[in-house]
Amino acid sequence: MTDPTQATAVELATALSAGEVSAREVVDAHLERIAAVDGIVAHGDVWNAKPAEELTPDQPHAFLAVTAAAARAHADDVDARRAAGEPLGPLAGVPLALKDVLTMRGAPTTCGSRMLEGWEPPYDATVTERLRAADVVVLGKTNMDEFAMGSSTENSAFGGTRNPWDLDRVPGGSSGGSASAVAGLLAPLAIGTDTGGSIRQPAALTGLVGVKPTYGTMSRYGLVAFASSLDQAGPFARTVEDAARLQSVTWGHDPRDATSVPGEVPDLLAGLQDGVAGLKVGVVRELQGEGYEPGVELVFAAALERLAGLGAEIVEVSLPHASYGLPAYYLIAPSEASSNLARFDGVRYGLRVDAPTAEEMNAATRAAGFGPEVKRRIMIGTHALSSGYYDAYYLQASKVRTLIAEDFRSAFEQVDVLVSPTSPSVAFRFGDKTADPLAMYRNDVATVPASLAGIPALSLPAGLAAAPDDPTTSLPVGLQLMAPLKRDDLMYRAAWAFEQATGFAALPTGPRAVSRSVTTQEVR
Amino acid sequence: MALSEDEVRHVARLARLALTDDEVVALAPQLSDILGYAEQVGEVAADEVVATTHPFALADVTRPDERAPSLSRDEVLAGAPAVEQDRFAVPRIVAEEG
């Protein structure tokens, strides 16, 4: 195997089981590339990212911490057990990047916040545990918008992450570190979390497959909560099959999560290659048009033609309340956040700023530990839940949520899957939307309806479009596929057929793309 | 709705956020904008609609009442900013009797 960092997870798994490469060689190749390009101080058992002010413009800053020693030890263990003839899982020895919102022992979990800087969790998230049980080797923890609040990863307290397709642009967010790691060939797989689009939008902006599984099918145990009724972990990968394999080893009921859905989850691989001939594909009327960039609309129109060419029946459907998704989301998510983040009170974990009374200590700690966007959302949520406003804001938004879920149920009586663009825009430049919070929130317009309904949704690359502010730069555009509750399998099946017909190579190209070779000197 | 700076200070007190004057001045128009946008949900006739909190409407989720390992006291206290006598330490909450 010439360069393991350019291989897909399935290619790596095949080479590993054939003995063509060892897990240690695969892990070392990725660690070398991370050390060379990402802006990491490659020293000690856990490598830390450099402080933001020391990073250079060619460093993606995808990882906050790299668990190098633990990853090497795990890889050696996989190799030893393989040599001994032990049965291993289908992804054994394949490396992965984990969003820093999921707990893992042996390294800090910061959630991109000064509030938790240096905090080491005393337990593993269920997702982390299942990755370990599947012998997927965790390379480290990835950068993110603080407490997963944002759509560009610019809200990380530790500095932003760069898009491997154009290092002057954002990778989307909030799971921007995970997206940048996979698109930048620092890991073949990553786990992110998606509350209103935080996996799908960065996947779209970095040319990857990114999936928000059905709500309740990926355990939230050990996922630091932002909005509990919406948060869901899910895979990033360079191919649909890689994503399906990663979801297969991490999802399913968990008794430690009271919101986990009981019962079996569907087999994502059995019908993966069945094609879309005869499937009814609904185009959501409300999730296109005004506010979507012309380049995005062109690629979306071509995607519909491609699906039709594969034998899918394309019909237009309406989700009458979809346009209320974004306002409802920006009441529900901040309300839940204001409640969840009350736990950061300077008592049990993280930062404390001393003050004479408990209330002053709480308020001073939270003022110092939270960044501007987290404060903004806590303020919106606290107001929306406060006496006199609860009915008009939180309760009304939760009722609109019911109507949106009913819209989807009606639509799925007519069609098998729904499609829309994932994001209204391609990757934008740093600072373009930070001055206006509402402009940033509008990135989520196409992704929040599925979040509110709890249905599975996936983004995969549909093609490239010229950047509106720079016609010489071509950037990825994502196609969003949505399916009924617990029909993630149907969504993957449609995605696989589309991917095969599209032939999109998920490798960054362009004048400001991250270098594919390992050494720092050759970057840019 | 437009939020005044006094209202922002009131909400900040409820949220236990010690905001600076500059933050209050910046937040008042931002929160007013966001809430003004979010108020669109009021256009939807939803009086008879039941609110959704979970797509699967789970209720009363319980587990078998069995003993299971849990974290040790030391593991739990290891991440705390201040510990005294195996407890989380906080500033005095109840005033001493005079």
Structure tokens, A156 = 């990380």
Provide the 8-state DSSP code for A485. T
Of A214, A212, A219, nearest to A260 by C-alpha is A219
Cα separations (Å) of A146 from A14, A108, A121, A126, B71? Answer: 37, 15, 17, 22, 27
Catalytic residue among A151, A156, A178, A198: A198
| Interface predicted TM-score (ipTM) | 0.94
The answer to whether residue A198 is catalytic is yes
At A332, is the pLDDT very low, low, confident or very high (cuts 50, 70, 90)?
A: very high
Contact (CB, 8 A) for B38 and A330: yes
The label of the residue with tokens 């929040």 reads: A448
How many Å lie between the alpha carbon of B98 and the closest alpha carbon of chain A?
18
- The reported pLDDT for the residue numbered A157 is 98
State pLDDT tens for residues A60-89: 999 999 999 999 999 999 999 999 999 999
Residue A360, pLDDT > 80, answer yes
Query: Is B83 an interface residue toward A (CB < 8 Å)?
Result: no
Would the CB atoms of B49 and A379 count as touching at under 8 Å? no
HSE at residue A150, side-chain half, CA atoms within 13 A, is: 35
Best residue of A114, A231, A344, A399 to probe chain B, by most B CBs closer than 10 Å: A399
Residues A200 and A447 sit within 8 Å (Cβ to Cβ)? yes
- In a 13 Å sphere around the CA of A35, the CA atoms on its Cβ side amount to 13
A174 upstream amide cis, omega within 30 of 0 = yes
To the query of whether residue A180 is one of the catalytic residues in this protein, the response is: no
- Predicted local confidence at residue B63, as pLDDT: 80
The sign of the torsion formed by the CA atoms of A407, A410, A412, A415 equals: negative
Chain A positions touching B46 (Cβ under 8 A) are: 396, 399-400, 402-403
Put residue A303 in one of left, alpha, beta given phi > 0 → left and psi -120 to 50 → alpha.
alpha
The answer to whether the predicted template modeling score (pTM) of the entire model surpasses 0.95 is: yes
Cβ atoms within 10 Å, residue A305: 10
Q: Which of A314, A223, A208, B31 is nearest to B23 (CA)?
A: B31
**Which is catalytic among the residues A22, A174, A425, A459?**
A174
* Residue A268 CB coordination number (10 Å): 25
**What domains are there in chain B, each with its CATH number?**
5-43 (1.10.20.60)
Dihedral over alpha carbons A121, A179, B30, A353 (to 10 degrees): 20
Phi–psi pair at A455, nearest 5 degrees: -75, 160
Q: How far is B57 from chain A (nearest CA, A)?
A: 9
Q: Is B58 in contact with A328 (Cβ distance < 8 A)?
A: no
Q: pLDDT at position A522, please?
A: 37
Q: Where residue B96 falls among pLDDT bands split at 50, 70, 90?
A: low
Integer Cα distance of A244 and A437 in angstroms? 34
Using a 10 angstrom Cβ sphere, with 0-12 exposed, 13-18 middle and 19 or more buried, the burial of residue A198 is: buried
CB pairs under 8 A between A and B: 179
* Mean pLDDT taken over chain A: 96
Task: Express each pLDDT in A252-310 by its tens digit.
Answer: 999 999 999 999 999 999 999 999 999 999 999 999 998 999 999 999 999 999 999 99
Residues of chain B neighbouring A403 (CB-CB closer than 8 A)? 44, 46, 49
Distance from C-alpha of A314 to C-alpha of A312, rounded to nearest angstrom: 6
Q: Is the pLDDT assigned to residue A523 strictly greater than 60? A: no
- Could you tell me which of A47, A101, A99, A98 has the C-alpha nearest to residue A69? A47
Q: Which residues of A touch B31 (CB under 8 A)?
A: 376, 379-380, 383
A342: closest CA of chain B, how far (Å): 8
What pLDDT, in 10s, does the model give residues A438-476?
A: 999 999 999 999 999 999 999 999 999 999 999 999 999
Condensed to tens digits (0 to 9), the pLDDT of residues A399-427 reads: 999 999 999 999 999 999 999 999 999 99
Residues 24-63 of B with CB under 8 A from A: 27, 30-31, 33-35, 37-44, 46, 49-56, 58, 61, 63
The pLDDT score that the predictor gives to residue A520 is: 40
Q: Which of A380, A387, A406, A448 to mutate to test the interface with B (most CBs of B within 10 A)?
A: A380
The answer to whether the beta carbons of residues A134 and A191 sit under 8 Å apart is no
Q: Are A36 and A518 in contact (CB under 8 A)?
A: yes
Distance of CA A216 to the CA centre of its chain: 16
Helix axes A23-37, A68-83, angle to 10 degrees: 160
Q: Burial of B16 by CB count in 10 Å (0-12 exposed, 13-18 middle, 19+ buried)?
A: buried
pLDDT, position B97:
59
pLDDT beyond 90 at B92? no
Q: Inter-axis angle of helices A325-340 and A372-385, to 10 degrees?
A: 100
Note whether B78 contacts A: Cβ–Cβ < 8 A: yes
Side chain identity at residue A336, one-letter code: E
Closest Cβ opposite residue A398 in set B17, B35, B52: B52
**Banded model confidence at residue A519, pLDDT cuts 50, 70, 90:** very low
pLDDT band at B94 (very low <50, low <70, confident <90, very high): confident
Tell me the per-residue pLDDT of A26-67, one tens digit each, with 9 for 90 and over. Answer: 999 999 999 999 999 999 999 999 999 999 999 999 999 999
For chain A, which domains are there? 4-319+406-522 (3.90.1300.10)
* pLDDT for res A518: 58
For residue A20, with 0-12 CB atoms within 10 Å meaning exposed, 13-18 middle and 19 or more buried, which class applies? exposed
Give the number of other CB atoms < 10 A from CB of residue A313. Answer: 15
The question of whether A174 is a catalytic residue gets the answer: yes
Closest residue in A to B49 (Cα–Cα): A399
What number is the average pLDDT over the span A22-26? 98
Q: Which residue has the tokens 């001055």?
A: A435
CA–CA separation, B50 and A467 (whole Å): 43
C-alpha angle A60-A65-A70 in degrees, rounded to nearest 5: 130
Residue A402 has its nearest CB partner, among B18, B51, B71, at: B51
Average pLDDT over residues A490-499: 98
Answer yes or no: is pLDDT of B87 > 80.
yes
Burial of A122 (0-12, 13-18, 19+ CB in 10 A): middle
B95 shares contact with chain A (CB less than 8 Å) = no
List of E strands, B10-91: 83-84, 87-88
